[in-house]
A and B are shown apart, each in its own frame.
Chain A
């Protein structure tokens, strides 16, 4: 605790008649000052006595100072509460309190935990809150896979915007079109950020997840369901509202499960019609079908216009199973994991090449059966 923090507390008590925050109750009544925490209760104090008691409970004072004066919203707090919608700064504050589990633990426990660092997972991000001198919080950010890694083994960054480079490519250097895909690469860390910089870095890696998570906590996440979103589309995306509910179910199942996207899907077909597909367990919600899903849906809309036909193929039972295994391997992105010589895997490249050599004709038709017959 710094002297300035105590002065600020005395000033706040004088100005507002009392301060109540995270277990600290400081007030000024006719009989003098009062200072109460879960472990201390003193009333009828002179200002000098009040200061003395506060000084022997420095954590409560510096905690109050950090949350109300440093992270605090100043005049914005009431403005935001009034508007009920514009809540960028409140969301930031709520996220920082979440990071140190402020709702679950009192100040002394929290300070003890923060001395070692309190870590939480946000998608594939590991956010660690620590307490520096005078109750100032400092934050670290890294990949969950590096939670226990030595800092010297990681690339260390300080500017939150540098997270852009990390979030753009996966570990094989491929572009990541969906920021919340579980393909964030590891090997880096942001050390020693202040609260604002932490939230900025998180926003670069997982854009808009903090405000949406905050709205959900406040019970006012606005969800745009599939039908509504599809109807809103214009131009080349105008067609996506043609998809029937079953196809929408397949979309959610293909795109929105945890193996593909870490957002927790909150949208359904419409408000009344829930989709069966797994929503995912992500900490942050998905409030409407994203642009990637809408763009894919456009392709599926045109594909779904086709009627099924009956084809005749010659395959051995093992070949049929092999086709199924290939589809599975591609759909799950496992083709790279199948070892070159592992011919027991149906999706092994040599197995696939053998099948093609045997069953495709010169035009690439399976079993020599033309597509448009």
Chain B
């Protein structure tokens, strides 16, 4: 038996933080690639300390719903899951390349294939693009459009900017959008000045965040000038300095994210059959989770 366990941050204050994790778990459960699909959280239940106990399988694939490698993926999750002998060097990563490591969970004796975070996986690039398609309602979106990938910035986590740059560069290489730019909340180039970085009239702005919350729903829309007060909402697209800003909200709520989770597990050795294609198929055109 093989199980998939998606681990995420969660929140004590609102349910939005865990909602995308549940949605993607449901999508994967529906395609039947795993005997069990479970979720565990840092701030919700089951806790990371106890999630493996809820799993009956011997073979467990753990995929972190986090954007970048760092404190959570390197310290908190392995410690709380009690992964015997974990050492971050097992990932042998440059901050973007963590794939997986196989360890034993001291608590349950299960074999745990601990995967790198979803945010740094190459197929996350496709999710960013899909997010642009869903927010514009145009599966061909690209020509005449600029795309901004927004991240938190380096002050919080050195690797977070790496993930933003990485995907921005990959989208640039697709030659699909007229312009692609990485922007940040806490450092230059800042998302506040989004219109200065684009010549295109239409700009899709996609925050590389797992869930919608304070930053993606309040800070970023206000910083970009989509609205003076997030509580009054904003239009999509909204007119700012002569540009049309198509603000997409957190990429993590896009239903195609389930595919990234599956790919992480498949690369760690999970037998997922044709689930990857099925998920790609099924999440196309379906409304983004949380919409």
The dominant DSSP class at the B interface is loop
Contact indicator B13/A85 (Cβ below 8 Å): no
* Closest CB in chain A relative to B8 CB, distance in Å: 13
Q: Mark B54-77, 1 if CB is under 8 A from A, else 0.
A: 111110000000000001000110
Contact indicator A177/B50 (Cβ below 8 Å): no
Q: Mark B67-94, 1 if CB is under 8 A from A, else 0.
A: 0000100011001000000000000000
Cβ–Cβ < 8 Å partners of B44 in chain A: 177, 179, 291
Which of the residues B13, B51, B75, B107 comes within 8 Å of A177, measured between beta carbons? B13
A327 CB–B CB distance under 8 Å? no
Contact indicator B12/A211 (Cβ below 8 Å): no
> Considering the complex, which residues of chain B in the window 36-50 have a beta carbon less than 8 Å from any beta carbon of chain A?
42-47, 49-50
Give the segment of A37-45, A86-94, A264-272 that binds chain B: A86-94
* A232 and B79 contact, Cβ closer than 8 Å, known pairs A207-B46, A290-B47, A291-B43: yes
Residues of B in contact (CB 8 Å), total 30
* Closest CB in chain B relative to A29 CB, distance in Å: 37
| Chain B, residue nearest A232 (CB) | B79
Cβ–Cβ < 8 Å partners of A288 in chain B: 49
Residues of A in contact (CB 8 Å), total 36
**In the complex, what distance in Å separates the CA atom of A287 from the CA atom of B47?**
12
* A-B interface contact total, Cβ < 8 Å: 78
Cβ–Cβ < 8 Å partners of B232 in chain A: none
Contact indicator A295/B50 (Cβ below 8 Å): no
A283 CB–B CB distance under 8 Å? no
**In the complex, what distance in Å separates the CA atom of A56 from the CA atom of B191?**
78
B22 CB–A CB distance under 8 Å? yes
**In the complex, what distance in Å separates the CA atom of A94 from the CA atom of B217?**
45
> Considering the complex, which residues of chain A in the window 152-205 have a beta carbon less than 8 Å from any beta carbon of chain B?
161, 164, 168-169, 175, 177-180, 203
A227 CB–B CB distance under 8 Å? no
Query: Can you list the 10 inter-chain pairs with the closest CB atoms, starting with the nearest?
Result: A88-B56, A207-B46, A211-B53, A208-B50, A177-B12, A207-B45, A208-B46, A179-B45, A83-B109, A86-B108
Q: What are 17 A-B interface contacts by the 8 Å CB criterion?
A: A86-B108, A86-B109, A88-B53, A88-B54, A168-B15, A177-B13, A179-B44, A179-B45, A207-B46, A208-B45, A208-B53, A215-B53, A235-B76, A288-B49, A291-B44, A295-B12, A295-B43
Q: Which residues from chain A sit less than 8 Å from chain B, CB to CB?
A: 76, 79, 83, 85-86, 88-89, 91-92, 161, 164, 168-169, 175, 177-180, 203, 207-208, 210-212, 215, 222, 224, 232, 234-235, 287-288, 290-292, 295
Q: Which residues from chain B sit less than 8 Å from chain A, CB to CB?
A: 11-15, 22, 26, 42-47, 49-51, 53-58, 71, 75-76, 79, 107-110
